[in-house]
């Protein structure tokens, strides 16, 4: 009798699981047709790492123009202050700049405390800072390898340690992390950079799932991982065969990242087709996948 009950209970659980899967598939299809309404960021305190140039600078400007209080972090004090000054010249005075090396754990915690006292609790954290050396593995120095891992991966742990607890306590906040197209599919000359961006994806998925379980699904803290294609920031010279893959301007990339955060997307590629296409490609036989990658022929010219 007990055995029969257990079997029936298991079947009921499987049926419920199937219904949930179908429901969420339909929900995603609906969102493609009717996009989620963007939430306001007015009054939010947005901290952006790597705000001194490129995407980070455009993110700071974008959030400031939307009415958020913006906190700029960058290791380069001159360019970071320039970002702040540019925003103030636009008539937005709720902006702050702090010199911070995100790879230095103690400095991150110290400056984070300063931000909390002088500005308030950060409610949107954008882990944007990143570096890349476009070289073959054998041509990369050990210092370059360590630097990429420290900036692109380890720094995420320090900023999360610094700002996530207050978000959890208030049950309000949003973590945004920039991965990359090569955080979905590897390419040549990215034996260090690509794994670092795969790691960003893993960190975000793991911490989001952990918080969901620990809160019994009641957490309101959101997580968004963004996978941009090439962005014209001057860090790498892209090699592109098809115009559909052409580099984005930093302003456009920043606008799409902000859009993804405001719509609570958990994962968003730029352009949007990269993420679903990468999932399909992952199901191909290994040799077939390599044929597709050879055909697309997207990479970056190595540094000399």
Other Cβ atoms closer than 10 A to 237: 13
Name the catalytic one among 193, 227, 273, 301: 193
Residue 193 appears among annotated catalytic residues:
yes
- C-alpha 173/C-alpha 160 separation (Å) is 12
Radius of gyration of the chain (CA): 21
Please list the active-site residues.
193
């Amino acid at each position: 009798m007990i055995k029969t009950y257990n079997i029936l209970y298991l079947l009921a659980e499987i049926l419920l699981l199937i219904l949930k899967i179908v429901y969420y598939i339909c929900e995603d299809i609906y969102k493609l047709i009717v996009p989620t309404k963007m939430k306001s960021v007015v009054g939010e305190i947005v901290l952006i790492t790597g705000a001194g140039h490129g995407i980070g600078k455009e993110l700071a400007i974008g959030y400031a123009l939307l009415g958020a209080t913006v906190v700029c972090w960058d290791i380069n004090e001159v360019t970071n202050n320039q970002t702040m000054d540019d925003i103030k010249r636009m008539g937005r005075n709720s902006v702050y700049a702090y010199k911070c090396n995100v790879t230095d754990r103690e400095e991150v915690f110290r400056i984070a405390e300063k931000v909390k006292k002088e500005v308030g609790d950060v409610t949107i954290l954008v882990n944007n800072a990143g570096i890349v050396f476009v070289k073959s593995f054998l041509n990369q120095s050990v210092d370059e390898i360590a630097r990429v891992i420290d900036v692109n991966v380890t720094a995420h742990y320090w900023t999360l340690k610094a700002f996530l607890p207050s978000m959890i306590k208030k049950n309000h906040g949003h973590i945004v992390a920039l991965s990359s197209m090569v955080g979905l599919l590897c390419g040549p000359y990215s034996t260090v950079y690509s794994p670092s961006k795969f790691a960003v994806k893993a960190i975000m998925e793991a911490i989001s799932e952990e918080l969901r379980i620990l809160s019994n699904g009641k957490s309101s803290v959101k997580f968004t991982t963004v996978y941009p294609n090439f962005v014209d920031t001057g860090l790498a010279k892209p090699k592109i065969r098809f115009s559909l893959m052409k580099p984005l301007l930093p302003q456009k990339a920043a606008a799409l990242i902000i859009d993804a955060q405001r719509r609570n997307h958990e994962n968003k590629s730029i352009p949007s087709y990269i993420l679903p296409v990468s999932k399909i490609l992952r199901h191909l036989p290994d040799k077939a996948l390599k044929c597709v990658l050879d055909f697309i022929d997207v990479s970056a010219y190595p540094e000399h």
